[in-house]
Every structure is written in C-alpha cells, then in structure tokens.
Amino acid sequence: MRDKQVEKLIKAEEKRQKSVINLIASENYVSDDVLKALGSNLTNKYAEGYPGKRYYGGNTIIDKVENLCKERALKLFKLDTDKWHVNVQLLSGSPANFALYSALVPLGEKIMGMKLTSGGHLTHGHPASMTGKLWKPVQFEVDPKTEIIDYKKLKQIAITEKPNIIVAGFTAYPRFVDFKKFREIADAVVYPEQGRKGAILHVDMSHFAGLVAGGEYPSPFIYADSVMTTTHKSLRGPRHAILFVKKDDPSTSLGARRDFDKKLDRMIIPGLFGGPHENNIAATAVALKEANTLLFKKYAKQIVKNAKTLANELQKLGWHIISGGTDSHLILMDTWMNGVGIGGKEAGERLEKEGIIVNMNTIPGDTRSVMDPSGIRLGTCAETTRGRKEKDFIKIAQKIDKILRKK
C-alpha cells in the first residue's frame, strides 16, 4: 500500500484483533474470500436501480452478482421464491429497519418493540432513535422475575395500544423467541375504525440469523410478514443487511393486496438510497454460500455449546446471568449485582486491559446510566470462528471472574 500511514493503522488493528479474546456478540471474523470480494473492483461500479432496471449502463455483470446474492439468501433460509421477496441492497441493520417501517407503516403510527433495557434495539422504536420520533413507540419489557418475555402481558399491551407493526427481535436477549406466539398476538390486534385486524409482524434476526441457518435457532419465516438480518454477527459475512417480505398470494383480490415487495423496493430506491454497494453484495453472496454447508452447521452448534458453557461457568462462580442462561450465542451478565459488584463500564475497561473485549450493556430493570449500566454483554461467535471449544470457555469464564473480583 502506498499510503503507509493507513497501512500502518490497518496492520496495527490486525495485530490487535489477533491478540485479544473477542467476546463482542455482534462481531465475527470473515473468511479471506469475503474480504477479497469486499476489496474487489466491484466497488468501482455505480448500479442505481435493480437488476434489469438500472439508471446506469455497464451493469450486465453486476446484475448477475446481485441476482446471485438474492438466490442464495432465499436458498439459505429455505424460502419459496413464489412466496418471499428479498432485497439485498441494504447497507446495514439500522437503515434496513428504517426502510421497512418507511415502506409499510404510515408516519405517526405505532411501532411496538422490546424496551432497550430488556434487550431491544434502538431501531425497535426507542425514543432516542428516529424510529421513536417519526413513529409512536410502544414498548414491552421482560418479566422482572424471570427476565424472559411475558407473552400474556405483551398481548395485553398490543390489544390495548393497537400498533401497526410488532417487532420481534433483540440486541441483548439471550433466549429463544416464540415466533408462533408473536404471530398470534399480531393477529389479535383489531382496528375497528379501519374495519380490519392483524398487525404486521416484523422479525429482526440480525443476531441469530447464522443460528437459524445452522438449525440452532427457530426460524421466524413460518410466522413473520417481514424479516431483516444483518449479514455479519452470527452469519459471519460483511457489514451489510438483507430484507425479506412476504409476497401476496396470486389469488388475492386487487383491493386486498398488501404489495409489501413493491412498497419496499420503491422505498429503498428511489425513496431512501442511491447506488448499492455491489462489492458488499458480492461479499454477502460469498458468506451466504459458506453458511449453506455442513461445516457451518457444525460451527453454529459449537457457538451455542460455547455460550451455554460460558454462562454456566460464570453462574457457578457466583455471577448473575440474566434469565439464568442462554439459548443462543449471547449472554447478558449482571456485574453490578445491586452494588456488590462493579458497573458495566468499569467491568469492560478492566477486561480490555487484560485482553478480553466485551461491551457494557443495560440489563432488565436497570436504573443506572446507559453510559455506565449494570452489566456487560458477551458473545461466542468470534472466538468459535477461531476454533475455541467448551474447555476454552471454562478458562475464559474463570479469567473474567478473576479480573472482575480483583480489588
């Protein structure tokens, strides 16, 4: 690289990544093939529009790349092309959720999602996010005792508040989501003034998409109207996102059609975005193919084994693990423990000094600041990619315990 200053920084970051234990739940390590696609000459091409309908010339090959990515996305999650539409042009998770709401939910209407302290994401209608400013947020929490979703209470809130869309998904919830119950709750919402019933059920599976692909997490596609996923995290691809929406049944009358596929595509271009990043789309296509292998299924299984081992060991060592464990790659750990321990910020800083990277995180019922919350979030995707197994995570748990208890 001619720019030695940037080259030096890249090499320094490479050295840092190799020298630490990375437990950030939203990070992973991509393959060399993914990196090659990201750094390819596809970054030179402008491709505003969709395959076969571009505003620029010279896109014959680019169209093949994008169509291949779409085919692989549908194939990975075993989706019928007659029933599901996919858009692979999204830059990342937050703008993808924003695009979905913009396409399907009128401004000022209600979005219902999990509260941030219960494990929800900012883009699930949090008041600090534009999704909580342009739309009216309706939030639900986990049960304060079990720290698990209370579906009965969730249903009561939905029926009372009548949200246009219900978001099932999380950024820091360690348990399985019951998508069947979410579907039943969405269907129970009635809008008497409009003479209709049934809220849109949107699933944000950004964190657990790789586990769905690997058969280690329930698939949301049976019950959802729309599904969004980022392509990094457990899917082990580039920083990108994909949106899936259900198509109308061909027998649906013209007046009853929802046209989610058409509305979504129009909102993405020309509504919100310009030219897609085709190098990212190519890298996503590579990652989707990698995820559709027996080797990846073994990887997904090991992710969960490692997470359960880490959670169990930390519990044995006396730490409060939110919800009592995990079903996924993700663990939420209470480091404050009602003042007996230390805050999440200090915990993260202590661990980083010793080469363990985590992020501070709010926990259910948290009364501390989001910039110094009561817990930390841990994940096992990145270190599982590096080949670590259960015995390694027992040692990691012991090391975490020793660092955090040091006076």
Sign (positive/negative) of CA torsion 104, 108, 112, 115? positive
Residue 177: the pLDDT is: 97
pLDDT band at 82 (very low <50, low <70, confident <90, very high): very high
pLDDT at 269: 95
Same domain, 106 and 252: yes
Strand (E) or helix (H) holding 123 = none
Same domain, 177 and 317: no
Tell me: do 282 and 298 sit in the same domain. Answer: no
Does 340 lie in the same domain as 256? Answer: no
In a shared domain, residues 146 and 285: yes
Using CA atoms, how far apart are residues 143 and 163, in angstroms rounded to an integer? Answer: 21
* Other CB atoms within 10 Å distance of the CB of residue 349: 12
**Which CATH number characterizes residue 166's domain?**
3.40.640.10
For residue 336, give the CATH number of its domain: 3.90.1150.10
Give the model confidence (pLDDT) of 167-211 as tens digits. 999 999 999 999 999 999 999 999 988 888 999 999 999 999 999
pTM summary value? 0.96
The rounded mean pLDDT for the chain is 96
Reported as a single tens digit per residue, the pLDDT across 43-62 is 999 999 999 999 999 999 99
| 31-53 b/e (C-beta count within 10 Å ≥ 16 → b) | eeebeebbeeebeebbbbbbeee
Pairing outcome for strands 375-379 and 330-334: antiparallel
Which pLDDT score, from 0 to 100, does residue 243 have?
98
Residue 69, SS3? helix
Residue 170 lies in a domain: yes
Average pLDDT over residues 213-227: 98
Please check the confidence at residue 255 and state whether its pLDDT lies above 90.
no
Query: In terms of domains, do 283 and 304 share one?
Result: no
Q: Domain containing 215: what range?
A: 33-291
| Same-domain check for residues 90 and 216 | yes
Split into its structural domains, the chain has a count of 2
Domain identity same for 379 and 323: yes
Q: How far is residue 378's CA from residue 337's CA, in Å, rounded to a whole number? A: 17
Burial 364-384 (b: 16+ CB within 10 A, else e): bebebeeeebbbbbbbbbbbb
Both 205 and 336 in one domain: the answer is no
Instruction: Say whether pLDDT at 304 is over 90.
Output: yes
Which band of pLDDT confidence, cut at 50, 70 and 90, is reported for residue 341?
very high
258, 291, 324 - which closes a domain: 291
- Is 387 within the bounds of a domain? yes
* Domain assignment present for 1: no
Do 373 and 237 lie in one domain? The reply is no
Question: Which positions are annotated as active-site residues?
Answer: 46, 48, 204, 230, 233, 239
